Structure 1
Amino acid sequence: MVVDEPVTELALASVLQVTVDQVVDSLEALVPTYEDRGFTLKAINGGWRFYSHPDCSAVVEKFVLDGQQNRLTQAALETLAVIAYRQPVSRARVSAIRGVNVEAVMKTLITRGLVEEYGVENETGAILYKTTSYFLERLGLNALTDLPPLAPHLPDLDGLDEILDSLTD
């Protein structure tokens, strides 16, 4: 409750002077005991952290924000999704996928700590971007592999095979 980032099992074991296995067993045993409370214990981004229970999110949000709106715009959410699923990715590639210039949106995402520079693309020299550990933490994910699959959100393409077959005939 007193840390700003998820705490690793190793750090907890060191502080408590027990084995990592004992910490893991204890944490996993604690998780279900918090189901009916105002908070939960989650393994996030390589560590453990307390979070407010999802059922309490509206009250917590109101308390924290106190009427202020600090949400991302639709453009920022779309850009963040492209980066999350295609990373590492260049700004030009994100713009091409979205079909609009993403300069201002990228600055917002970097400023908010959700995206960071990752390196340089060998062929073009373009700067590559990826999501940060803060992104995982804010979304309540342990790893990028926990992102939901995109397929259910894509347009229905049942007839695509028939169309492609007719074009090749």
Structure 2
Amino acid sequence: MTDERDDPRTADPPAEEQPALDLDAMPGGARSAIEAVLMVVDQPVTAHELATALELPEPDVTEIIEQLEREYAQQQRGFTLRCINQGWRVYSRPDYAPAVEKFLLDGQQAKLTQASLETLAVIAYRQPISRSRISAVRGVNVDGVVRTLLTRGLIVEIGTEGEQGAMLYGTTPYFLQRLGLSSLDELPALAPYLPDADVVDELIAQGHG
């Protein structure tokens, strides 16, 4: 009797190999490629993660990041590279915080959407909370909404969770100011209507099933 594991007709097809990344063919090469990635990541990434994804030596990646950081400072750019928990990401430069704050406080941005308000409520009542948990409570992907709330200054990254290092989010003093509250203790009693932690964990597990 033939073992199905040895039968080529039943064997799984080989996974398609991804073509090698040709950074030299890109304008600016590896340096610009690293810069482009750091501009779009939602969470800080390590030099090791960048090196692995872009198929570069890790020391070269670290050197390029440090060069970019120095150049941004010399050119007085409005943004900089910061290292948080060994991960790098682009942030607005603290020197320009008054300009960013004035833009936000003057209400130059459109009103929050219903999705943003619902996500903000989940964060306010369940903080610190990761994006996966927020998504489990709301039942939809919240990546874009979280970015909007970060940009508005209503929430902030406040650490990481577990071995996977999932970013945790919480509300800011500006959030309280906009609601006219002095502390989170003054929030209405909405928390009992949100799923318990074990229910959220089950929803997350189902989402990965």
| Larger relative contact order (CA 8 Å, sep ≥ 6) | 1
Question: Whose Rg is larger?
Answer: 2
| TM-score normalized with structure 1 length | 0.48
| TM-score normalized with structure 2 length | 0.39
